[in-house]
Amino acid sequence: MSTTATAVGVSPKRGIWGGGNEPLKASYGKLMMWFFLLSDIFTFAAFLIAYAAIRVSYPGYLGPEDAFIGSNEYWPVPELVFDAIPFFHGVHIPLAFVGLMTFILIMSSVTMVLAVEAGHRNDRKDVVKWLLWTILGGITFLSCQAWEWTHFIHGTDGGSVLTFVNKMGQVVTETVYGANLFINEYGPAAFAQLFFFITGFHGFHVTIGVFLLFLAFYQAAVGVYERRGHYEMVEKIGLYWHFVDLVWVFVFTFFYLI
Amino acid sequence: MASHENKSTLEVIPRNEEKIKKIWKTAFILLILTSIEFVFAFTLDRGILLYLIFIGLTIWKAKYIMMEFMHLGEEAKPLFYSIIVPLIFLVWLVIALMREGTDIFLLRW
C-alpha cells in the first residue's frame, strides 16, 4: 500500500546501490512473499491438475445417487463420500461439514484483512484483536480437518466389498473399511492418495500459517511492531493467510464439488 | 531503557468505516458465491456445464480474494503482471494433462 508509511527507510547517504530501495514500490519482504506465493500456486496447481488428469483416466460413477457404493473400478461422487458431520453418526448430510470448513476459513480471511487494515492505522489493540480471531479460525479449521481425516481413514459402518491384489500378491475379495495409501473403500487407490496429499499439503500450510499468526500476534501484543514503526509483518503474514484461503477455494471446487 | 522502548511513537489513525464496510461487503460476496455453488451442487445435473459454472465461480472468488484481500490490484503494475502473467503456463499444463488423462482412459478401458 502506497498510502502507508514506507516499510524500509531509504538512507539518502546510501544512494541507489546501497540497498533499501523498493523497485516495485513494495518492500523486499513483501516482494519475496509474492514470489513465494507464485511458486506455491504452481505447486498446488500441479496437485489439482494431476488430480483432474488421474480422475479422467478412470470411469466415473454413473449409477443412481442413492444406490452409491464405493468401488476401485470407478471414481466416486465426492458428495456421496464426504457426507458425514460430527455427532450425527450414519446420517447422510452431503458436503455440510466441508461447507462449514469453507465458511470458517473465509471468515478467518476476513478477520485477517481487518487485522492488516488495523496495522495500516497503527492500531495495536485492533491488530491484536483481529489476529486472535484469525488464529481461532485457523485452529478451528485444522480441528475440523483432523476430524474429517479421522472419519475418512476409519470409514463407514458398512465398508465396501472390493476385489484387489493384496500385499502378498494374491487376488482377494473382501470388505474394506476406511482408507489408507494402499486401498480404500471409496474409490481407486489414487482417490485416497490424492485426498491425503492435497488436503494434507493444504493443512500443512494452514498449520504453518497458524504458527506465523501466533508470532505476529505475540509481537504485536508486546509492541515489537510499534517500536519498529510499522506493521508490515502483519501484512506479509496476511498475504500468506489469504493465499491459504485462496487454495482452499480451489480445493473445495475441484475435490468436493466436481 | 525499558520504559523508553515501550513508549509508543506511532500515532493511531482512526477507523475508516468505509474501508471496513468494503471488506465486509467482499466477505459477503464470497459467501454468496459459495452458497450458489452449494445450491448448484444439489440442484443441477452433473456434467460439463455444471463443471464450467463451478470453475467460473471459483475463478471469480479467486479474483475477489486476490484483488480485495491481498490488494494485488493496488500494487505497482509490473508487480501485478509478474504475478498474473506466469499463470498462463498453467493453461498449458491443464491442456497437456487432461489430454494425457483421456488417453490413459482410452488405453485402460
* Cα–Cα distance measured from residue A227 to residue A220, given in angstroms and rounded to the nearest whole number: 10
The region of weakest confidence among A8-12, A21-25, B46-50, B93-97 is A8-12
* Cα–Cα distance measured from residue B36 to residue A177, given in angstroms and rounded to the nearest whole number: 34
Check residue A63 and give its pLDDT: 77
Say what angle helices B48-64 and A232-251 make with each other, to 10 degrees: 180
Q: What kind and span of H or E run contains A161?
A: strand A160-165
- Over residues A105-152, the pLDDT tens digits come to 999 999 999 999 999 999 999 999 999 999 999 999 999 999 999 999
The pLDDT of A20-31, averaged and rounded, is 81
DSSP SS3 for A254: helix
* Cα–Cα distance measured from residue B29 to residue B27, given in angstroms and rounded to the nearest whole number: 5
Chain A environment of B52 (Cβ under 8 Å): none
Say what angle helices B77-84 and A28-56 make with each other, to 10 degrees: 20
Q: Which residue of A has its CA nearest to B86?
A: A38
If pLDDT is split at 50, 70 and 90, which confidence band does A4 have? very low
Chain A environment of B19 (Cβ under 8 Å): 117
Reported residue count of chain B is: 109
Q: Which residue of A has its CA nearest to B69?
A: A113
B69 and A242 within 8 Å at the Cβ level: the answer is yes
Q: For A130, how many CA atoms within 13 A lie in the half-sphere containing its CB?
A: 21
If pLDDT is split at 50, 70 and 90, which confidence band does B104 have? very high
Instruction: Look at residue B50 and tell me whether its pLDDT is greater than 80.
Output: yes
Domain ranges of chain B: 17-74, 76-109
The pLDDT of B37-60, averaged and rounded, is 89
DSSP SS3 for A175: strand
Cβ of residue B48 closer than 8 Å to a chain A Cβ: no
Check residue A15 and give its pLDDT: 66
Instruction: Look at residue A5 and tell me whether its pLDDT is greater than 70.
Output: no
How many CB atoms are closer than 10 A to CB B69?
25
- Grid cell for residue A245: 484461503
DSSP class of A253: I
Chain A environment of B65 (Cβ under 8 Å): 109, 242, 245-246, 249
Cβ of residue B4 closer than 8 Å to a chain A Cβ: no
Cβ of residue B31 closer than 8 Å to a chain A Cβ: yes
Check residue B33 and give its pLDDT: 94
Please name the member of B8, B46, B100 whose beta carbon is closest to the beta carbon of A226. Answer: B8
Cβ of residue B24 closer than 8 Å to a chain A Cβ: yes
Chain mean pLDDT for chain B: 87
**Nearest 5°: CA angle at B79, between B77 and B84?**
90
Chain mean pLDDT for chain A: 88
Contact A139, A210 (CB under 8 A): yes
- Over residues A226-239, the pLDDT tens digits come to 998 889 999 999 99
Cβ of residue B5 closer than 8 Å to a chain A Cβ: yes
Chain B environment of A2 (Cβ under 8 Å): 74
* Domain A28-60+69-257, second-level architecture: Up-down Bundle (1.20)
The pLDDT of A45-56, averaged and rounded, is 94
Contact A207, A142 (CB under 8 A): yes
Q: What kind and span of H or E run contains B16?
A: none
**Nearest 5°: CA angle at A128, between B29 and A29?**
80
Minimal C-alpha gap between A226 and chain B (Å): 6
The pLDDT of A196-222, averaged and rounded, is 96
The pLDDT of A191-201, averaged and rounded, is 95
B93 and A45 within 8 Å at the Cβ level: the answer is yes
- Over residues B2-33, the pLDDT tens digits come to 444 445 567 888 888 899 999 999 999 999 99
A243 and B71 within 8 Å at the Cβ level: the answer is no
Check residue B24 and give its pLDDT: 94
The region of weakest confidence among A86-90, B25-29, B60-64 is A86-90
Please name the member of B12, B57, B98 whose beta carbon is closest to the beta carbon of A123. Answer: B12
Chain A environment of B20 (Cβ under 8 Å): 114, 117
* Cα–Cα distance measured from residue A205 to residue A199, given in angstroms and rounded to the nearest whole number: 10
A52 and B76 within 8 Å at the Cβ level: the answer is no
Instruction: Look at residue A199 and tell me whether its pLDDT is greater than 60.
Output: yes
- Over residues A147-158, the pLDDT tens digits come to 999 999 998 888
Minimal C-alpha gap between B78 and chain A (Å): 7
Torsion sign, CA atoms A186, A189, A190, A196: positive
Chain B environment of A61 (Cβ under 8 Å): none
Cα A49 to its chain centre, rounded Å, is 16
Check residue A1 and give its pLDDT: 42
